[in-house]
Structure 1
Amino acid sequence: MTKKPVVPPRSAVPRRKGRPVGQDNIGADRVLTAARQLLRDKRPDQLTQTNIAKAAGVDPKLVRYYFGTLDNLLVQLAHRFILDISDRLTAISDIPGTTAEKIELRIKTLLSFYVETPNFWPLLLDKIYLASDAKAKTVRRDFNKTSYQRLENIVLKGIELDEVRGDIDARFLYMVLLGVCEIFATAKPIRDVLFSEYEQDGLAERYADFLSKIIVNGLKPLG
């Protein structure tokens, strides 16, 4: 008499690697977009695979399928932010105008990005700037060299046109612009102390105008 094959219980059947059933049409972009939206109100250390999956409306297993670990997801998110701000700065780099107008446009572009993504800097610092792996070092070097080169070109052209003092070090200006734009976004509690709720509307625009005036005036040739 032929014995029937023993069928293991369902729980004992090895799972096939791959996307969770029913999730085949959902891409990694959806997960990254959800993580980016969460980062507007949450710090990087408050993000989890679970709350990202919930925001994206997907099974948490899909997050693991695409990214493996939360750390890898956050690294890829940081890379996406870098591409975004790089694209914005590239888009304004060839717009004609005076040195003052170009500096003002750069300030407004940086400030707008930081306001949209207030937790971008902590993420960038943790996953790219303080990371020791070779890829992170390459990304931060290439990103800053390219971004700085655009600003240096503006300064050198301004010096040539006698719109900028010859003793201006574009490297210091690069750091100043990043700092003054980043602090506005990350120091919201300070803004709330200094400005009433009735003054909050349009505050970023007024801050951008203020920065433009003091920075551009500081760059002008003496006398």
Structure 2
Amino acid sequence: MAKTPTKSTIERIRSEDAPRTIGRPSVDSATVGREALIEATCELLKKMPPRKMTRAEVARASGVDPSLIRYYFKNVHLLLIEAAKLFNARYAHKVQLLTKRAGTDPEARLKVRIGALVDLIAEYPYYQRLIVEEILESDDPEAKALMERMTAGGIEGYAAIIEDGVAQGAFRRIDPALLFTSIIGLAEFQTTAHALLNLPRRTTRISTDFRENYKNFIFDLIIQGLRP
């Protein structure tokens, strides 16, 4: 059930929905396309939480006039929904390609899904906040439809792996929906785990070594728990 948007989100959307002149901004930066603005927004999610993102921030990162963002998306909330769609499409494509290489082995297919999500969150630490704050809590029809597709697709993917694992005698039967949500929680906690375990150095960027160690730990934890 969608939550009521926070006051800060409502104020941001209202301010960005203010009347504007009709037509595309007549500035040199207007040559920047819609897709480039979505890409810039995704890049900002490496270092900035979605609710701190403004038209000015995206415009600065893209080198365009803020009015161009309003022209294409109306407000930052709708731009963030498009960013979430792009993340989801890329994740799904990566999982599809790697799953083909994994073949019929349920353990290998499970590792593909877990690894792809851990990699995504390691590269974009604010990805999960984007999904929770701008998609799950949104009343926008496109956000709701995206959330439903992501959830249904994730549960169906894990259900197929579990069924094959049970048939092959590799896994015991469990609830795929709970497996889906548990893996999200483990992958999401990666950024907090990194901060806790690197307090003396105060480093924020997740290193490749830490990511791989964390990934392998989750692999072992989940797969051992699934064995009969």
* 1:131 equivalent among 138, 143, 154: 138
Displacement, 1:47? 1.3
1:40–1:117 CA contact under 8 A, matched in 2: yes
Displacement, 1:173? 1.2
Rg comparison, structure with higher value: 1
Runs of 4+ off more than 4 Å: 194-197
Aligned to 1:117: 124
* 1:45 equivalent among 27, 34, 51: 51
1:203-214 superposed matches below 5 A: 203-214=210-221
Aligned to 1:4: none
1:89–1:147 CA contact under 8 A, matched in 2: no
After superposition, the Cα gap between the structure-2 partners of 1:64 and 1:187, relative to the gap in structure 1 and judged at 3 Å, is farther
After superposition, the Cα gap between the structure-2 partners of 1:186 and 1:85, relative to the gap in structure 1 and judged at 3 Å, is farther
TM-score relative to the length of structure 2: 0.81
TM-score relative to the length of structure 1: 0.82
Q: Residues 51-71 of structure 1: CA distance to partner in whole angstroms, max 9, x if unpaired?
A: 211111112221222122122
Q: Does 1:26 align with 2:32?
A: yes
After superposition, the Cα gap between the structure-2 partners of 1:107 and 1:16, relative to the gap in structure 1 and judged at 3 Å, is closer
2:30–2:68 CA contact under 8 A, matched in 1: no
Aligned partner letter, 1:207: Y
1:53-68 superposed matches below 5 A: 53-68=59-74
The count of corresponding residues between Structure 1 and Structure 2 is 205
Cα distance between partner residues in 1 of 2:144 and 2:22: 36
After superposition, the Cα gap between the structure-2 partners of 1:191 and 1:206, relative to the gap in structure 1 and judged at 3 Å, is same
After superposition, the Cα gap between the structure-2 partners of 1:149 and 1:50, relative to the gap in structure 1 and judged at 3 Å, is same
2:88–2:150 CA contact under 8 A, matched in 1: yes
Displacement, 1:84? 2.0
Over the matched positions of the two proteins, sequence identity in percent amounts to: 24
Cα distance between partner residues in 2 of 1:140 and 1:200: 30
Aligned to 2:89: 83
- In structure 1, runs of 5+ residues without a counterpart are 1-14
Displacement, 1:27? 0.2
Q: Residues 2-36 of structure 1: CA distance to partner in whole angstroms, max 9, x if unpaired?
A: xxxxxxxxxxxxx6632323344220111111111
* 2:113 equivalent among 106, 109, 112: 106
Q: Does 1:184 align with 2:190?
A: yes
1:34–1:55 CA contact under 8 A, matched in 2: yes
RMSD: 2.3
After superposition, the Cα gap between the structure-2 partners of 1:194 and 1:24, relative to the gap in structure 1 and judged at 3 Å, is closer
- In structure 2, runs of 5+ residues without a counterpart are 1-20
Cα distance between partner residues in 1 of 2:132 and 2:224: 31
Aligned partner letter, 1:34: A
Aligned partner letter, 1:79: K
Displacement, 1:119? 0.3
Cα distance between partner residues in 1 of 2:64 and 2:140: 31
Displacement, 1:194? 8.8
